Amino acid sequence: MTSPLHQELIIMSETPSYIAFEEYSERVPASIPAAVQQATERFVAGRAARVGELPQWEELRQIGSDIRQHTLENLDIYLARLEAAVLSAGGHVHWAGSGEQARQIVLQIAQANSVKAVVKSKSMATEEIHLNDALEEAGIEALETDLGEYIIQLAGTGPSHIIVPAVHLTKEEVAALFSKHLGIDAPTDPTELARIARETLREKFLSAQMGITGGNFLIAESGTLVMVTNEGNGRMCTTMPDLHVAVVGIDKVVPDWESLTVFLKLLARSATGQKLSTYTQFITGPRRAEGEFGPKEFHLVLLDNGRSKILSDPVGRDVLKCIRCGACANVCPVYKNVGGFAYGSFISGPIGAILSPQMLGTQAARELPFASTLCGACAEVCPVKIPIPTILLHLRRRVAEGDEFSEPTISLPLRATAALASLALAWNWIYRFGARLLPAINPFFRRDGWLSGLPYPISRWTKVRPLPSFGSRFRQWWRARSAERKGEKR
Amino acid sequence: MTNPTIENIRRSLGRTDQSALSPRPAIYPPRQTESAAAEIDRFLREIKKLSGVGRKLSAGDVEPALRTLLSEQDIHTATAWDTAFLKQLGITEMLQAQGVKLVSPNADKREMAKCDLGITEADYVLPETGTLVLRSSYEKPRAVSLLPRVHLAIVRPDSLRADMHQVFAEAKHDHYLLFITGPSRTADIELTVTLGVHGPRNLYVWVQTPQ
């Protein structure tokens, strides 16, 4: 059973037209930050222990960052290589410009093969495009099989944490969900609950006709899909059904296997504090022989959905370097106090605060760049060195000044003032001229040596605190002071 | 044929279809290997940290070790990779002698799902992370290390590799490759670590050493 507040937080099932971060964070039940902090503390400690074992950690981060940068800068070439390699391995490649196109592609594959039931392994890309809704609407059962995802699917809520999506639910709540949906009397022991899920889902794995997954990396060199999981449900989805469809963002490409070594060393250590996750699969096309298991058909859906547009912003594009470890969220003081729901989208925490505004538009997500203290902890732990605070500031500027998505949130006179100020700073003579001119206003506004009640837009400053009155200019003052001192010495 | 996504990427990056690939940054070098004995010890230590059961054994120890495993884990049905190394060890004969029902590794998935034990080799192992690397073929089906609740991997000493770089150099043209680092695990309910949620609950790793 979920509390009414959890029900209210089903805001993530549709692409949001506006993310009201402030309002959502006020509605977050107190139990969520408590549970989320327990999880983040554990992951932060685990990460620190693994990082401490590797003296070359900082070098690995730098190389990881450099390779991600290089890949994005040459993305057209690497994607073309990837496509050719997947095709030559006997796989199918589909290009999806939008979420809607991706949904249609997956539905067509499912319908062409008379698929009734799909097993899914945890995937941010399919969350992003709301694939489950589309499948259910077409009468196809879409079952999440990661234990945490399975639980929140039963509960009908979104994820509260990227790695442990159901961490906000207690074992009693999980047991109640299992009892209600499976018609059994479920005990409240986590191990027993996991066993029940294993048995229930085992049957689904064996009978589903199609497995849908995301992917952690795509190797351009060989057309290989790399999937990292812990429970084994990812392996089930790619091994048992005859069809495997992977929906993967175009930003997931790595140049070659050598490059991949760097990211495999960075990912699990940053995410869960493991050296490697339990299962890492390297899938290059369909099975070769029937008896070896694995799918007869392999389909790769390459999802753009705004990513190619993000590349046009030279500052904001660094968000696409992300390898989805969640380390930034685990250290974020804001995230730890509100949890994943408040970010109103499939991705939360600092990375969500810089991705959602670029993906959904600065109008829909204009509160998110401000959902940060700019403390910089996120950038310190990011395994690929994404300058998250810099991008937050950049996006605040885009929100304030307006961009192709949104009207400016700062009024015209204020922007004009800011523009004048930056002109004055850029041109020395304007600055000096202004400095000569400004003391002339002193008599009109000065009270006890302070200026207050200046006209709009400066009033936005002076109604909070007065300005010191304009006096002599610094250089003038300095010359006069130096001359005085010389006089004293003599 | 022009592809709209690639066109959009080029426009965003200010590139054309004539733009050249810039050189890829250099990669951090692989770790150096220690002596074989030290590497095996390190590997077994990692397996233990991962809640697996690892041990060294010589060819003569296989049968008693297997008998112990069968009774510890209450094994009635088993399946195994069909490889020369496992044949040479006589694994299937030992299982049959113990009254264990054998299922073909290429059997239907529902048959395979009834197996208590799956036996494989490891084509490579990575000592630093306690990782088994398994290739895939008709003789080495993927389901053997996935569906049974217990997985036993028997490791030849020549499968040790210092780092994943060497494994990739040798096996990157395979159509499927799998790293296994410990038994299946989750911490999704109240962060309680639970083993065997979808894959095997118990992982046994036996490293063969010369007599």
Concatenated DSSP letters for B152-208?
EEEE-GGGB-SSHHHHHHHHTTSSEEEEE-SS-EE-TTTT--EE-SSS-SEEEEEEE
Is residue A3's pLDDT more than 80? no
The token pair that represents B32 in the structure block: 């150096």
Nearest CA in chain A to B25: A67
Task: Give me the residue label for tokens 């290429």.
Answer: B106
Q: Which of B142, B178, B191 sits opposite A42 (nearest CB)?
A: B191
Nearest CA in chain A to B23: A70
pLDDT in tens, B75-86: 999 999 999 999
What's the whole-number mean pLDDT along residues B53-73? 95
Pick from A61-70, A96-105, A205-214, A402-411: least confident: A402-411
The token pair that represents A420 in the structure block: 């004048």
Residue A411: per-residue pLDDT: 85
Distance CA A225, CA A240 (A): 17
Q: What are the CA-CA distances from residue B192 to residues A77, A170, A171, A189, A194 (Å)?
A: 44, 11, 10, 10, 10
Instruction: Name chain B contacts of A261, Cβ cutoff 8 Å.
Output: 27-28, 30, 163-165, 168
Residue A8: per-residue pLDDT: 42
Selected for mutation to probe chain B from A67, A144, A298, A308 (highest B CB count within 10 Å) is A308
Coil, helix or strand for B68? Answer: helix
Distance CA A345, CA A10 (A): 10
Pick from A117-121, A158-162, A323-327, A364-368: least confident: A158-162
Instruction: Name chain A contacts of B205, Cβ cutoff 8 Å.
Output: none
Residue A10: per-residue pLDDT: 38
Nearest CA in chain B to A86: B175
Taking a contact as any Cβ pair under 8 Å apart, which residues of chain A between 160 and 189 contact chain B?
A: 164-167, 169-171, 174
Is residue A475's pLDDT more than 90? no
Taking a contact as any Cβ pair under 8 Å apart, which residues of chain A between 65 and 124 contact chain B?
A: 66-67, 70, 73-77, 79-80, 89, 95, 97
Is residue A1's pLDDT more than 80? no
Distance CA B179, CA A226 (A): 11
Residue A4: per-residue pLDDT: 36
Is residue A296's pLDDT more than 80? yes
Strand partners for B194: B186
Is residue A452's pLDDT more than 80? yes
What's the whole-number mean pLDDT along residues A314-324? 97
Strand partners for B50: none
Mean pLDDT (chain A) is 92
- Residue B137 and residue A311: Cβ atoms within 8 Å? no
pLDDT in tens, A61-80: 999 999 999 999 999 999 99
Question: Are A405 and A363 a contacting pair, CB within 8 Å?
Answer: yes
pLDDT in tens, B99-152: 999 999 999 999 999 999 999 999 999 999 999 999 999 999 999 999 999 999
Write down the ipTM of this complex.
Answer: 0.97
pLDDT in tens, A362-421: 999 999 999 999 999 999 999 999 999 999 999 999 999 888 878 888 888 888 888 888
Q: What are the CA-CA distances from residue A304 to residues A106, A173, A220, B170 (Å)?
A: 15, 37, 16, 33
Residue A2: per-residue pLDDT: 36
Is residue A7's pLDDT more than 50? no
Q: What are the CA-CA distances from residue A97 to residues A161, A218, A280, A307 (Å)?
A: 28, 18, 28, 9
Is residue B183's pLDDT more than 50? yes
Q: Which of A95, A206, A264 sits opposite B109 (nearest CB)?
A: A206
What's the whole-number mean pLDDT along residues A340-359? 94
Residue A454: per-residue pLDDT: 86
Task: Give me the residue label for tokens 């307006």.
Answer: A402
- Residue A250 and residue B5: Cβ atoms within 8 Å? yes
Q: How many CA atoms lie within 13 A of B14 on its CB side?
A: 3
Mean pLDDT (chain B) is 95
Strand-strand pairing, A279-283 and B117-121? unpaired
- Residue A63 and residue B25: Cβ atoms within 8 Å? yes
What's the whole-number mean pLDDT along residues A466-470? 86
Q: pLDDT grade, residue A46 (50/70/90)? A: very high
- Residue A261 and residue B138: Cβ atoms within 8 Å? no
Q: Min CA distance, A365 vs chain B (Å)? A: 22
Question: Are A367 and A373 a contacting pair, CB within 8 Å?
Answer: no
- Sign of the C-alpha dihedral computed for residues B3, B9, B12 and B15 taken in this order: negative
A267 or A30: which leads in pLDDT: A267
Taking a contact as any Cβ pair under 8 Å apart, which residues of chain A between 389 and 408 contact chain B?
A: none
Question: Are B46 and B127 a contacting pair, CB within 8 Å?
Answer: yes
A158 or A277: which leads in pLDDT: A277
Distance CA B100, CA B88 (A): 19
Is residue A255's pLDDT more than 70? yes
Distance CA A241, CA A232 (A): 14
Residue B1: per-residue pLDDT: 55
Selected for mutation to probe chain A from B129, B134, B198 (highest A CB count within 10 Å) is B198
Distance CA A404, CA A409 (A): 13
Nearest CA in chain A to B14: A312
Residue A11: per-residue pLDDT: 39
Distance CA A123, CA A144 (A): 9
Q: pLDDT grade, residue B55 (50/70/90)? A: very high
- Residue B189 and residue A193: Cβ atoms within 8 Å? yes
Coil, helix or strand for A295? Answer: coil
Distance CA B145, CA B134 (A): 9
Is residue B2's pLDDT more than 80? no
Residue A14: per-residue pLDDT: 52
Distance CA A135, CA A118 (A): 9
Q: Which of A218, A227, A228 lies closest to A256 in space, CA to CA?
A: A218
